[in-house]
Amino acid sequence: MSIKSDSRHLYLQVIDRIKKDIENGVYKENEKLPSEFQLAKLLGVSRATLREALRILEEDNIVTRRHGVGTFVNPKPVFSSGIEQLTSVTYMIEQSGKKAGTKYLFTDIQEASDKDKSKFASRVVDKLVNIERVRTADGEPVVFCIDKIPEDVIPIDRVHQADSFFKLMEDYANKRVAYAVTYIEPLGYHERIYTILNCRPDQPLLLLKQMHYTDEDEAVLYSANYFRSDMFRFHVLRKRT
How does pLDDT run across 104-154, given as a tens digit for each residue? 999 999 999 999 999 998 788 999 999 999 999 999 999 999 999 999 999
**Tens digit of each residue's pLDDT (9 = 90 or more) over 11-40:** 899 999 999 999 898 998 888 999 999 999
| Distance in angstroms (rounded) separating the CA atoms of residues 33 and 59 | 17
| Distance in angstroms (rounded) separating the CA atoms of residues 127 and 131 | 13
Question: Buried (b) or exposed (e) across 28-50, using 16+ Cβ within 10 A?
Answer: eeeeebeebeebbeebebeeebb
pLDDT score, position 5: 54
129, 180 contact by CB (below 8 A): no
Question: Buried (b) or exposed (e) across 96-115, using 16+ Cβ within 10 A?
Answer: bebebbeeeeeeeeeebeee
C-alpha distances in Å from residue 31, one per residue of 27, 69, 130, 194: 6, 12, 40, 21
pLDDT value at 83 more than 60: yes
Model confidence at 7, pLDDT cuts 50, 70, 90, reads: very low
pLDDT score, position 203: 80
| Distance in angstroms (rounded) separating the CA atoms of residues 240 and 9 | 30
pLDDT score, position 35: 93
Q: What percent of the chain has pLDDT over 70?
A: 95
**Tens digit of each residue's pLDDT (9 = 90 or more) over 183-235:** 988 887 889 999 999 988 878 899 999 999 999 999 999 999 999 988 887 87
> Average pLDDT in the 88-109 region?
90
| Distance in angstroms (rounded) separating the CA atoms of residues 154 and 162 | 10
What predicted TM-score, i.e. pTM, was given to this entire model?
A: 0.73
pLDDT value at 45 more than 50: yes
More reliable by pLDDT, 66 or 209: 209
The CATH code that applies to domain 10-73 is 1.10.10.10
Distance of CA 74 to the CA centre of its chain: 14
- DSSP reduced 3-state for 167: helix
End-to-end CA gap in the chain: 46
User: What does the domain layout of the chain look like in residue ranges?
Assistant: 10-73, 79-235
**Superfamily in which the 79-235 domain is placed by CATH:** Chorismate lyase-like (3.40.1410.10)
pLDDT value at 159 more than 80: yes
Helices 47-59 and 10-23 cross at an angle (nearest 10°) of 60
